[in-house]
Structure 1
């Protein structure tokens, strides 16, 4: 059973057709579809041609005499009823830089896709880039998936390392199935961020600092004064008050890590923290890390956390 319904797929096809946002972009339809299907091995509907590539090319490139939505119900392609994985690849390919170069078209398609996919619990998210152009995937909503991707894309600007990307993936993938790992990895990511910023600024790090002490020292070194606020000083005071409150949350994260996170021995009958709490802390740490790195505004050298911190 497919989760993305034929109703949603038809709605996407209708809206993109009205907007003349052809799924194949700057490619011909057979060249686009050949990236998803082995058209040379699929049968032709036209006796003059030996395979699907030939008859699609004839009727959609040479003559253009098939209806615009032919691909939805054609049993060889069957985009309206194919499995979710294939449909996701179809949508992602329609946004790929090799398919489409117009950034406004990409934004319009992402908006259309997400509007209709949300009803079925899916979304389009950017997962990387090629030559500065975004690459997308279709993923289930929830489980912090949006936060995970946004975090990764932002952190890569300032801590572009496989280590950090691995931590982000681990942290968000573990939220639903292993809350201990999610909490422990979130704490390690925050520690890495703080230490990397402090090292860049030439500030000595006391090995005996707790995580809240490390965060407090980091925030004191950064300039949080808004550049365009009407009352910059008052705004900065408010921001620092918020950060002070976040530091209390981080203290809670550190304590949870000791009780529920990875890195400490557990009894055989130990039961981890509920998922909803792990999701909260992972989300807080994700956004806090982005705030610190963007405020610092420079690429920092990675400083990995010490075992048992």
Structure 2
């Protein structure tokens, strides 16, 4: 009836990204597909799971830009897309007034958020499926778990901020 089972993660279950509770994401199917690939691949195919983490963030950035009628090209990389989104809802560190309580810490965290987005792309290039690998990926299950946690942090912050800006009337999304 009971048997021992090895836990592969110290923190229990995988973090959740509740996409269906976001009214501005009218069709989050692509994001759900990425999440499915990530969850399926953490143990079985860590390199693919890492790549899907980067792809999820990139897809989300493009969805926000599409809804905000901001143009981008198919060749725009994830740092450029993030810069465009960050400028849109005033996510840049410079948007936090120096007089605001905790502004210095906020500047650091927002700067780290931008670095995290860039690092997801780098991790995909080094351990994921990027750029036609010629050798097997050295990725272990801990690497896509790290990437997933970073992805959820970035995505939740972007979605929360985007929704707040729309609710306050600072942004008007297209239908």
Q: Against the structure 1 CA distance between its residues 296 and 232, is the aligned structure 2 distance closer, same or farther, given a 3 Å change threshold?
A: farther
Deviation by residue 1:187-207 (Cα, 9 ceiling, x = unmatched): 111011111111211211143
| Structure 2 residue aligned with 1:2 | 2
CA contact (8 A) 1:175 1:278 kept: yes
Q: 2:109 aligns with which of 242, 247, 269?
A: 242
d(CA) in 1 for partners of 2:149 and 2:12? 7
Q: Which runs of 5+ in 1 are unaligned?
A: 5-119, 123-139, 226-230, 302-309
| Structure 1 residue aligned with 2:139 | 273
d(CA) in 2 for partners of 1:184 and 1:143? 22
Give 1:179 deviation, angstroms: 1.3
Matches within 5 A, 1:101-180: 145-147=13-15, 150-151=16-17, 153=18, 155-158=19-22, 159=25, 160-180=27-47
| Higher percent of residues as helix | 2
Greater RCO between the two (CA within 8 Å, min separation 6)?
2
Q: Against the structure 1 CA distance between its residues 209 and 244, is the aligned structure 2 distance closer, same or farther, given a 3 Å change threshold?
A: farther
Give 1:176 deviation, angstroms: 2.1
CA contact (8 A) 1:193 1:289 kept: yes
Superposed CA RMSD in Å reads 3.3
**Which range is displaced more, 216-225 or 244-253?**
216-225
Q: 1:252 aligns with which of 119, 126, 147?
A: 119
Aligned length: 159
TM-score, normalised via structure 2 length: 0.73
Matches within 5 A, 1:47-86: none
Give 1:258 deviation, angstroms: 2.0
Give 1:241 deviation, angstroms: 2.9
| Higher percent of residues as strand | 1
